Amino acid sequence: MKSTVKADLILVHAPAIFDFRNRDDMALGWYSSQESSNVTPIFEMYPLGFLSIKSYLAERGLHVEIVNLASLMLKHPTLDVDKLIGHLDAPIFGIDLHWLPHCQGSVEVAGVLKKHHPDSFVVFGGIVSTYYAKEMMQYPQIDGVIRGYDTLEPLCQLVSDIKKGQRGKFDVPNMIYKDDEFIVDNGHAYTPDILNDVAIDWSKMFPKTQSLLNLPNLMVLPNTGCQQSCGWCSGSRWAYQRMMNVSKKTVFHRRSEQLAREITTFPKTESPLSVYTLQAYSESGPRLIDYLKAVDESGVVKSVSFEQFRLTKPSLLREMVNAAPNTDIYINLSPQSHDVEISRLTGRGTYTNPEMEDWIQEALDIGIKGFYLWYTIGMPQQTHASVMETVEYSARLMERFPDDKVIPTIFGMIPFLDPGCQWFEEPEKHGYKVFHRDLQSHRESLLKPMWKDAMNYETKWMARDEFLPSMYEAMQTLANYKADFGRVTKKSIKIVNSRIDHLRYLTGSIDRAYAKDGALPASLRRELLDHNNDILSYAADVVLVKKPLEGRWYDDHAVPKDVIQSCLH
Amino acid sequence: MSNTVPNAAQLQKSLNDYLVENSSVSVSGTIDPEENLLDTGILDSLGIAEITEFMEKEFGVEIDEEEISAKNYRSLKTLTDFCLAKLGRAAA
């Protein structure tokens, strides 16, 4: 009997680029937030929303499977994707286009799904899908898009309707879809006050024997939206008011009961479990304390990280530490630049550097374990010189706070400025120039050999071709400072330096070859192929170390081994 | 790689010295063999990858991904025992 993955709904996570394997026409490197998370350049992490969908529909008697195609292709480079997709069996396939770097791969994978399952409904969701919903209807392989920050109930309704045999007309809120040759728009009126009213079940997300090369970490999302209007962020108040059909209320919390339920599913792992708490800056003090108490009482968590927007009051920090005596607490702060004026223009800048440093010292004295500071390249008024001054300031911070207490990181906002954010919508007003506006242009840009052609913006203060060299120089200089201050070992710094030098050489070679001949010579293509295959074997993290491409919460749990084996060349 | 097979004390000292020299947190001259290297941060994710490479090169053992577990890497003692077992198997 032919083995299949069968469900009422199969959610498929596509790689950023399809097909990314054996490419000799581009250099895969560090891009955007990839530098800050444990993924490769093809972004194999899927949105947490997939897990919420699975739990929500399961509670209503519907069977959902999540197939992480990106992760499977990475782990099994000879995987025959057509054959694998032939093994999937569902009346609906859901694809995430939440983050823009997936725009090329997600639509291509939808095409493969439609080829093998022409009668199945292919539906998209996510922030970028919401923004481009109407344009996405031009692709024959996409049947519908459900818009919004919470699509649990509309998707549940769609899956129930299709399971009952309904075809054609759907009364699903927030959905735009095709009915024969007509496009039907059901509007965007479903904006629930409570976010994702369900608890994710983490209990089976990690293998029993967890390799320490991939320490287990999971994420909790207590809310969505924001009260702040940072100009570069499509999750900001400004962007939500324009994209999500909301007005005064722009932050949507999950119920505390659901967060508590979710925490009870955290697994006991052999290795220390870390929890990253997204968007904690939109949480009230009492909710933070309740959350921390529940995490601490679970008895399985070693450390928990919080994102904070302002300098949290010391009294609250003290309460946090007291609430979780057995858990290490880390705080993530994103000043974006050492220059307070630039920081203010990004929507931050509510504190000066001396104020931040004094606060860090006080927080450490209170018992906060450490701080991650995030600086970004691509901000208003930010020149390359300013970027390098941020690196110098980061070095001074490491000198003042030894022993891993403060870890600064800098990365470039490349290749994309988020559609829907204020600077994308009103570029000239903020000193920005946007090169790609529609979805198709973004999709094509990701396949351009010259990296700068992929960038969808530049600023009055930095031209497109300055970004990558600036980012490489900043990252390399900061990494070397980290080695000087003992944050990374001397051996690791050699790897980082050689990796960045090689990327610099490859991207430079591509640019020169195109400027001279308009094409890539065979010898360079061979080098690119070797580089790309090599870099895909790394789960990146901040420092490049080879890690297993499995065992992370977002790796594939759905496709049986025998199916995978039958799909390998 | 050393030519002779080290005994338990030599192995432990070698691993101790490596950790003192290379850990990203400050470590005094001698690590308590029972001290939890993972909880204290003496071994973080990068350190785990590096000490694995160190053991492979220094002692000539081959370590599978599955063996890079908390059971084997928890303390200096478990690391030493693990290395000894690998060396024993390699010698057999």
Q: What is the ipTM of this complex?
A: 0.73
DSSP A349: -
Interstrand relation of A175-179 and A182-185 (parallel, antiparallel or unpaired): antiparallel
Average pLDDT over residues A296-322: 94
DSSP B6-38: P-HHHHHHHHHHHHHHH-SS---SS--TTS-TT
Question: Using CA atoms, how far apart are residues A16 and A24, in angstroms rounded to an integer?
Answer: 16
DSSP B55-67: HHHHH-----GGG
pLDDT score for A170: 96
A142: tokens are 């996409």
A77: tokens are 């480079």
The H-or-E segment that residue B47 falls in is: helix B45-59
- A and B: number of Cβ contacts within 8 A: 61
Q: Determine, yes or no, domain membership for B1.
A: no
Query: Which among A16-25, A550-559, B43-52 has the top mean pLDDT?
Result: A16-25
Q: Determine, yes or no, domain membership for B3.
A: no
Average pLDDT over residues A196-224: 86
Torsion angle of C-alpha atoms A477, A483, A486, A488, degrees rounded to 10: 110
Q: Determine, yes or no, domain membership for B44.
A: yes
- Rounded to the nearest integer, the mean pLDDT of chain A is 92
Band the pLDDT of A27: cuts 50, 70, 90: confident
Task: Mutation target for A interface from B20, B22, B27, B48: give the one with most A CBs within 10 A.
Answer: B48
Q: What is the pLDDT of residues A384-422, one digit of tens each?
A: 999 999 999 999 999 999 877 899 999 889 889 999 999
Q: Give φ, ψ of A230 to 5 degrees.
A: -65, 130
Q: What is the pLDDT of residues A239-297, one digit of tens each?
A: 999 999 999 999 999 999 999 999 999 998 878 889 999 888 899 999 999 999 999 99
Average pLDDT over residues A130-151: 98
Q: Is the pLDDT of residue A324 over 50?
A: yes
Band the pLDDT of A306: cuts 50, 70, 90: very high
Nearest CB neighbour to A486, from listed B24, B38, B68: B24
pLDDT score for A35: 43
Q: Say which CATH number the domain at B38 has.
A: 1.10.1200.10
Structural domains in chain B (count): 1
Same fold, A5-27+42-193+553-566 and A212-535: no
Q: Is the pLDDT of residue A32 over 50?
A: no
Show me where the domains of chain A are located. Answer: 5-27+42-193+553-566, 212-535
Q: Which residue has the higher pLDDT, B3 or B47?
A: B47
Chain B CB contacts of A302 below 8 Å: 39
Query: Are the beta carbons of A267 and A202 closer than 8 angstroms?
Result: yes
Q: Is the pLDDT of residue A543 over 80?
A: no
Name the minimum distance, in Å, from the CA of B49 to any CA of chain A: 6
Q: Determine, yes or no, domain membership for B2.
A: no
Rounded percentage of chain A residues whose pLDDT exceeds 70: 96
Asked if B48's CB is within 8 angstroms of A212's CB, the reply is: yes
Residue A384, SS3 per DSSP:
helix
Which of A180-189, A338-347, B42-51 is least confident? B42-51
Asked if B69's CB is within 8 angstroms of A210's CB, the reply is: yes
Nearest CB neighbour to A272, from listed B38, B47, B49: B38
Q: Which residue has the tokens 């290395």?
A: B83
Task: Compute the residue count for chain B.
Answer: 92
Q: Is the pLDDT of residue A238 over 90?
A: yes
Torsion angle of C-alpha atoms A165, A170, A173, A179, degrees rounded to 10: 130
Angle between helices B76-91 and B8-22 in degrees, nearest 10 = 130
pLDDT score for A180: 86
Domain of B87, in residue numbers: 8-91
Question: Which residues 6+ apart lie within 8 Å of A400 measured at CB?
Answer: A357, A406
Band the pLDDT of A540: cuts 50, 70, 90: low
Question: Using CA atoms, how far apart are residues A326 and A262, in angstroms rounded to an integer?
Answer: 19
Asked if B49's CB is within 8 angstroms of A488's CB, the reply is: no
Name the minimum distance, in Å, from the CA of B62 to any CA of chain A: 16
Chain A CB contacts of B26 below 8 Å: 402-403
Rounded percentage of chain A residues whose pLDDT exceeds 90: 77
pLDDT score for A542: 52
A317: tokens are 């920090």
pLDDT score for A11: 98
Is 3.20.20 the CATH classification of the domain at A212-535? yes
Which of A34-48, A321-335, A539-553, B31-45 is least confident? A539-553
A357: tokens are 């440093």
Asked if B39's CB is within 8 angstroms of A489's CB, the reply is: no
Question: Using CA atoms, how far apart are residues A70 and A185, in angstroms rounded to an integer?
Answer: 31
Query: Which among A5-14, A344-353, B51-60 has the top mean pLDDT?
Result: A5-14
Nearest CB neighbour to B49, from listed A213, A402, A403: A213
Q: Which numeric CATH code is attached to A5-27+42-193+553-566?
A: 3.40.50.2300
pLDDT score for A3: 79
Tell whether B90 lies on the interface with A, counting CB pairs under 8 A.
no
Tell whether B71 lies on the interface with A, counting CB pairs under 8 A.
yes
Question: Using CA atoms, how far apart are residues B70 and B73, in angstroms rounded to an integer?
Answer: 5
Nearest CB neighbour to B70, from listed A270, A543, A545: A270
